[in-house]
Amino acid sequence: MKKTIILLSSILFLTACYEDKGDYDYHELDQVAIDTAATGMQSEYAIMRYDTLHLEPNVYFNGQLVDDSGNFPLDYEWTIFSATTGVGSSQVSDVIGTERVLDAVITRTGGNYYVQLIVTNRNDGIREFFRLPVTVSEVFDGGWMVFYERSDRPGYSDLALIYNPWTKLNVNYNRLFTNLYEVTNGEPLRGHPIRCFDIAVSLASGNNYVGLCTDYTLVGVSENGIEKALDFNDFFHEPPAKMAPTWYGEHGSGVMSGQSSEVLINDNHVYTNTYSFSATEGRNTKFGIPKFDQGIGQLAPWNAEVPQTLNYGIVVYDQTYHKFRYAGYNSAQLEEFGEQDLSLASFDVNNTGMDFVMADWGRGTSQAVGLRPYDYIIMEKGSERFLALTNFSSSNPTDPNIGVGLFPMNSLCPDIDKLTTMASSHVGSFIYYAAGNKVYNFAYDSQQPATEAWTAPSSDEEVTCVRIMKYYHGTVYGYRLVPQADNLVHIATWNEQTQQGHVYEYLINPASGILNTTNCYDYAIPGKVKDMAWKFSMQ
């Protein structure tokens, strides 16, 4: 016990005698403050998916307003994360900026989020936080689709969507969303673009899908979010051994129940998927086996899309043997048409003697709810080009006069040998065709020379695609759900020197095709446009 007392006394004595001679440098901590007053920033934001969110808060360092010179020891990190928790919520936090000023395209799906700024002082590691709520809406209900080959990724395709008062009903804003497929699905779509097409399967929002066809694959993306919903194999009951699409489209006007078919030409075989337009149900059918095509040559990338009759289940063109072929409704066999009477018909659909170049459907026998248009096909024989009109809308396969018109083009159509794209009017007796940086208007009934309708702003721009605002579905079309139907033309160009695409939009006289150049929408597209189409909406 005595030893313990002596030991404790010694420790206390030594401690009392110890003198702290440490040299400490005490200083006040740096003061970092985030201030949004007088910056114009809102307390919360509601934006559409793919909108750019711009936030510019003031940051103070030791009372001094921070500029972006880099002279302050501060690091910035903007993140976005879900404002909800629990089952089904995403807990992923994405970094969307590393500067004081945020300019970020918000790609998160629809929902409620927080956007947060963390300012870190590199001197001491102390952080300052700021956050605000952001609501994201992702519904793409309508608009004008633009399908293009990426200038920064040759051999890959992507999708843009244009919203303005001409392309979407009941809006007063102007927006362009680009590279939607990559932004949504993580990478662009492999292959060169062939066609984008929105098939109306259902009246209910979210039940339809947009088909994107390249020379490598076919995918279906959700109409409201552009998320891949169908891979190539998902379109089939039994997928083909080879994936080699050359055409994707529609057969039928959508008016007669069960008459419409989704169409795919893959590896020179024709597939159809018959469906019924529904008020509530979505896609529930698939491609079956291909049409029996023994003895058929190379098929052109085309089919007759808008017939008003159940006489045809599909109409295609045999490029090798210069023949149109059809399969009856729900028939498995591609067949010849009946014998044609050349005293009535302008040409023989069983032996045209011409090569297919390109085509579009256009003006027919009526423009009411029941669409009954003709197919307008530019064809060639040697160096001669012709505009061929065919009636697959209301004819019978045994009718002797299905080829209703044939118009020589060489003497009347400047630069027709340099043709790059064409579009047919559904109201007036004219077509647009493009060559170089010009668009021409050919009023075929008048037999007068084609007139120059439009010239690109730059001589380096080549017109790659022309489309008139219209839609295959007779009910949707006839009840005025297509904005500016027949009154609007979209012209896409490509500048090889600058690797820049453009889409120009003009209102037109639907009967004559004359452009109103007083007003124009002009959009920069990051690629070479191959196809454009209206995105279906029951607005």
In whole angstroms, what is the distance from residue 22 CA to residue 212 CA?
74
pLDDT at 19: 54
Q: Which of 5-9, 48-52, 317-321 has the lowest mean pLDDT?
A: 5-9
Mean pLDDT throughout 350-372? 78
pLDDT at 256: 56
pLDDT band at 22 (very low <50, low <70, confident <90, very high): low
Predicted confidence (pLDDT) at residue 383 exceeds the cutoff of 90: yes
Structure tokens at 513: 């095709």
Mean pLDDT throughout 338-348? 97
- CB within 8 A of 155, min separation 6: which ones? 149, 190, 191, 192
**Is residue 181 within a helix (H) or strand (E), and if so which, with residue range?**
helix 180-185
In this structure, are strands 127-137 and 45-48 parallel, antiparallel, or unpaired? parallel
Q: Which of 71-80, 199-208, 321-330, 388-397 has the lowest mean pLDDT?
A: 199-208
Percent of the chain with pLDDT strictly greater than 70: 89
In whole angstroms, what is the distance from residue 112 CA to residue 107 CA?
13
Q: Which of 78-92, 139-153, 484-498 has the lowest mean pLDDT?
A: 78-92
pLDDT at 4: 44
Mean pLDDT throughout 497-521? 96
In whole angstroms, what is the distance from residue 41 CA to residue 308 CA?
55
In whole angstroms, what is the distance from residue 21 CA to residue 387 CA?
102
Predicted confidence (pLDDT) at residue 511 exceeds the cutoff of 70: yes
In whole angstroms, what is the distance from residue 386 CA to residue 370 CA?
28
Predicted confidence (pLDDT) at residue 220 exceeds the cutoff of 80: yes
The 10s digit of each residue's pLDDT in 384-442 is 999 999 999 889 999 999 999 999 999 999 999 999 999 999 888 999 999 999 999 99
pLDDT at 364: 64
The 10s digit of each residue's pLDDT in 108-138 is 877 899 999 999 999 999 999 999 999 987 6
Closest CA relative to residue 75, chosen from 46, 117, 112: 117
pLDDT at 15: 44
Identify the residue whose tokens are 């380096």. 460
The 10s digit of each residue's pLDDT in 253-310 is 766 555 688 999 999 999 999 887 776 677 788 999 999 988 999 999 999 998 878 8
Predicted confidence (pLDDT) at residue 340 exceeds the cutoff of 80: yes
In whole angstroms, what is the distance from residue 321 CA to residue 317 CA?
9
Cα angle 432, 436, 439; round to 5: 20
179 compared with 365, residue with greater pLDDT: 179
Rg (CA), the chain: 32
pLDDT band at 147 (very low <50, low <70, confident <90, very high): very high
pLDDT band at 25 (very low <50, low <70, confident <90, very high): low
Structure tokens at 269: 């075989």
- CB within 8 A of 122, min separation 6: which ones? 73, 74, 75
418 compared with 204, residue with greater pLDDT: 418
Mean pLDDT throughout 19-47? 79
224 compared with 320, residue with greater pLDDT: 320
Predicted confidence (pLDDT) at residue 11 exceeds the cutoff of 50: no
**What is the CB neighbour count within 10 angstroms for residue 337?**
22
- CB within 8 A of 89, min separation 6: which ones? 82
294 compared with 205, residue with greater pLDDT: 294
pLDDT at 260: 84
pLDDT at 27: 58
Mean pLDDT throughout 3-18? 44
pLDDT at 361: 94
Most confident of 68-72, 212-216, 308-312: 212-216
Q: Strand runs (DSSP E) across 259-337, as ranges?
A: 260-266, 269-275, 314-318, 323-327
Predicted confidence (pLDDT) at residue 50 exceeds the cutoff of 70: yes
Average per-residue pLDDT for the chain: 89
Most confident of 18-27, 356-365, 516-525: 516-525
In whole angstroms, what is the distance from residue 247 CA to residue 300 CA?
8
Which residue type sits at 32? V
Q: Which of 96-105, 245-254, 299-308, 363-372 has the lowest mean pLDDT?
A: 363-372
